[in-house]
Amino acid sequence: MSREPLLRVRGLKTRFFTEEGRVNAVEDLDLDVRDGEVFGIVGESGSGKSVTARSILGLLESPGRITAGEIWYRSPEVATSVAEDRPEAVDGDYVDLQAIPSSVRRTLRGTHFAMIFQDPMSSFNPSLTVGEQIAEAVEAQQRARANPRSVASRTQGYGLGQFLLSTVSGVREYVTESSRERAVELLETVGIPDAQLRADEHPHEYSGGMLQRAMIAQALAGEPNVLIADEPTTALDVTIQAQILDLLTEIQEETGMTILLITHNLGVIARMCDRVGVMYAGEIVERGTLADVFQDSVHPYTRGLLGSVPDLEGVASRLQPIPGNVPGLYDHEMGERCYFADRCPKAMTECLEHPPDFEIPDSPEHAAKCYLAETSYDESRALPDGYFEDEPTADDAGDGDRERPVERSRADGGESR
């Protein structure tokens, strides 16, 4: 496994510009995913996991937009192919996914990157057979391989040709016998019985578990370097979930594929991942190896999660380890402070004065965004009970035993619409 990350995300900010205000769905996120590892992202509902995945893949929908940050992908092949036209998008073997032509980025999805979603129906066209759709993914990969020198031209050329052909003759005629055979092989790989026959069935003829397997087959068809799996098993019953997770593990071990696995379940993380990032309110608040996070966690949020779901039996339940909810992430409600403070049993006055750094001194692998990473909990600086239940008033200043800490609002930073 190379120490150089395959995917390097720095300072990513993703916002949704809604009628109600700006939603800071991803806040200054740094992430390194290494070649051949399974990196897990875990967090409660609304913490920004899916938006992070969609930002990386360039699949954000309006009113969502990346307003800052860099997303670098290591691929000498792609770097060479875009270096002449877009030198600013290349740094050694890395390409800046936001600076390469959008046609190239589209091609990378399905060939270099693949995504599997919680809802497999959203990945399949209901009017085409499952086999046709997997065969089409096989062909896309073959076309990409045929001309490795020019990622852009092959995309534009084929994209239009394929579109025109499919409007006059349908995809079935366009798919070759060999790609169909490969589709059947892939369906067999993911454990679909009678794959030869089932390849000719439509998505609605598959059960939920079978369609989830077919979606994995479709993702594998492009032989991706990176698979992003966003809660790939949540909708399934526990036995099928375990089978699908085992299947993903087997495939990862055989192919060495890098997986970014998103889940709200720590049992799934423990079963599959090498390293993990714990996400809260749009930030990764703790990151490390499984041992770092499971045995030596520092952040009270991680500790709260650990108290809730230690095994696969709990997969179907949403995490709710600590009283309270993930904030709505509206900009006007997010202060310049630790966002977990209102739920944190260890919150101290400094937690409201500045956001903590993301580090643990002398520990490059394990990091936590919490003051407890560098200082011990000091009860004399604890926030008064019920602090967040009452809005501060002018009388609070200097009143009582403890002075109310100063909360600062976050500077807009010029990120308006």
Selection from Mg ion, ligand ATP, ligand SF4, none that 46 binds (CB < 5 to 8 A by kind) is ligand ATP
Per-residue binding letters, 367-386, with Mg ion (x by CB under 5 A): --------------------
Q: Which stretch in 48-56, 90-98, 148-156, 280-288 sits in contact with Mg ion by CB under 5 A? A: 48-56
228 vs 244, beta carbon nearer Mg ion:
228
Q: Least CB distance from residue 46 to ligand ATP, whole Å? A: 4
Asked if residue 293 binds ligand SF4 (CB under 6 A), the reply is no
Q: Least CB distance from residue 388 to ligand SF4, whole Å? A: 11
| Residues forming beta bridges with residue 369, ordered by sequence position | 358
Binder among 341, 349, 367, 404 for ligand SF4 (CB under 6 A): 341
209 vs 282, beta carbon nearer ligand ATP:
282
Instruction: Give residues 289-328 in contact with Mg ion (rule: CB under 5 A).
Output: none
Q: Least CB distance from residue 53 to ligand ATP, whole Å? A: 8
Do 276 and 288 touch, CB atoms closer than 8 A? yes
Q: Least CB distance from residue 329 to ligand SF4, whole Å? A: 16
Residue with tokens 């200082």: 375
Question: Angle 238-255/208-221 helices, nearest 10 degrees?
Answer: 10
Q: Which stretch in 36-44, 165-173, 219-227, 347-355 sits in contact with ligand SF4 by CB under 6 A? A: 347-355
46 vs 159, beta carbon nearer Mg ion:
46
Binder among 300, 304, 327, 405 for ligand SF4 (CB under 6 A): 300
Asked if residue 14 binds Mg ion (CB under 5 A), the reply is no
Asked if residue 338 binds ligand SF4 (CB under 6 A), the reply is yes
Instruction: Give residues 233-262 in contact with Mg ion (rule: CB under 5 A).
Output: none
64 vs 131, beta carbon nearer ligand ATP:
64
Selection from ligand SF4, Mg ion, ligand ATP, none that 257 binds (CB < 5 to 8 A by kind) is none
Binder among 71, 171, 219, 370 for ligand SF4 (CB under 6 A): 370
243 vs 320, beta carbon nearer ligand ATP:
320
157 vs 321, beta carbon nearer ligand ATP:
321
Peptide bond into 87 cis (omega under 30): no
| Residues forming beta bridges with residue 271, ordered by sequence position | none
CA 30 distance to own-chain centroid: 12
Residue with tokens 């109310």: 404
Asked if residue 154 binds ligand SF4 (CB under 6 A), the reply is no
Binder among 276, 351, 360, 367 for ligand SF4 (CB under 6 A): 351
| Of 55, 57, 107, the residue nearest 81 (C-alpha) | 107
Residues near ligand ATP, by CB under 6 A: 16, 18, 23, 25, 43, 45-51, 64, 264, 328-329
Asked if residue 287 binds ligand SF4 (CB under 6 A), the reply is no
Asked if residue 143 binds ligand SF4 (CB under 6 A), the reply is no
Which tokens go with 193? Answer: 């019985």
Selection from ligand SF4, Mg ion, ligand ATP, none that 351 binds (CB < 5 to 8 A by kind) is ligand SF4
Do 312 and 237 touch, CB atoms closer than 8 A? no
CA distances, 298 to each of 97, 320, 346, 393 (Å): 33, 19, 11, 33
Asked if residue 47 binds Mg ion (CB under 5 A), the reply is no
Residues contacting residue 195 through CB under 8 Å, at least 6 positions apart: 184, 185, 187, 188
Asked if residue 50 binds Mg ion (CB under 5 A), the reply is yes
Using CA atoms in the order 168, 173, 179, 183, what is the torsion angle rounded to 10 degrees?
Answer: 90
Asked if residue 113 binds ligand SF4 (CB under 6 A), the reply is no
**Which residues contribute to the site for ligand SF4 (CB under 6 A)?**
299-300, 338, 340-341, 344, 346-348, 351, 356, 370-372
**Which residues contribute to the site for Mg ion (CB under 5 A)?**
49-50
